[in-house]
């Protein structure tokens, strides 16, 4: 849910942040960097995460928890430059890195969740997982960002963005 919280805010508010935080008004440049990161990083990260998880024995092996820990730590580290970058190239590389690393941990996380549910309840378990993830991730992300941004935009236009980027710490602490 943590990653979806951040993904949702990035997807909805990245152009606002880039224009107000990075002071870039060229929409084609913004769309190019964002489009490249959001189209290529998640599938590449997911494929690498699945491959690494398989190489350590699959998501049912206890050793694969290290795949989650390592890729989640790298995703966490990627949020630092996303919060403080003043250069579009650093920002774009960090965005790609966050999308890639967060997506790399997801196959193992989903595998752990699915394998922990008895066979006869896998359908319901998967549905409940999606419901919870949506309620804790996709739904509150824009609301929280909007509330913080409305309160602080006049005095600190990048404060809400930084708060959301540092929300990643909560997710990492839960791993």
- What predicted TM-score, i.e. pTM, was given to this entire model? 0.84
Flag whether pLDDT at 16 surpasses 80.
Answer: no
Res 175: pLDDT: 55
Residue in 97, 106, 81, 39 with CA at minimum distance from that of residue 165: 81
CB count in 10 Å sphere of residue 39: 11
One-character DSSP codes across 8-23: HHHHHHHHHHHHHTS-
User: Angle at Cα 174 formed by Cα 170 and Cα 175, nearest 5°?
Assistant: 125
Residues 118-154 pLDDT 10s: 888 888 888 888 888 888 877 888 888 889 989 998 8
């Amino acid at each position: 849910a943590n990653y979806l919280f951040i993904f949702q805010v990035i997807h909805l508010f990245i152009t606002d942040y880039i224009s107000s935080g990075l002071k870039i008004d060229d929409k084609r440049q913004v769309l190019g960097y964002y489009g490249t990161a959001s189209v290529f990083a998640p599938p590449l990260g997911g494929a690498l995460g699945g491959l690494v998880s398989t190489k350590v024995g699959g998501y049912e092996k206890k050793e694969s928890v290290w795949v989650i820990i390592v890729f989640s730590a790298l995703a966490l580290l990627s949020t630092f430059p996303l919060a403080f970058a003043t250069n579009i190239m650093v920002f774009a590389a960090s965005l790609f890195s966050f999308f890639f690393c967060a997506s790399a941990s997801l196959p193992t996380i989903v595998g752990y969740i699915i394998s922990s549910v008895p066979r006869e309840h896998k359908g319901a378990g998967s549905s409940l997982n999606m419901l919870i993830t949506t309620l804790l991730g996709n739904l509150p992300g824009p609301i929280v960002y909007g509330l913080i941004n409305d309160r602080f935009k006049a005095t600190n236009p990048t404060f809400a963005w930084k708060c959301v980027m540092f929300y990643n710490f909560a997710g990492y602490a839960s791993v």
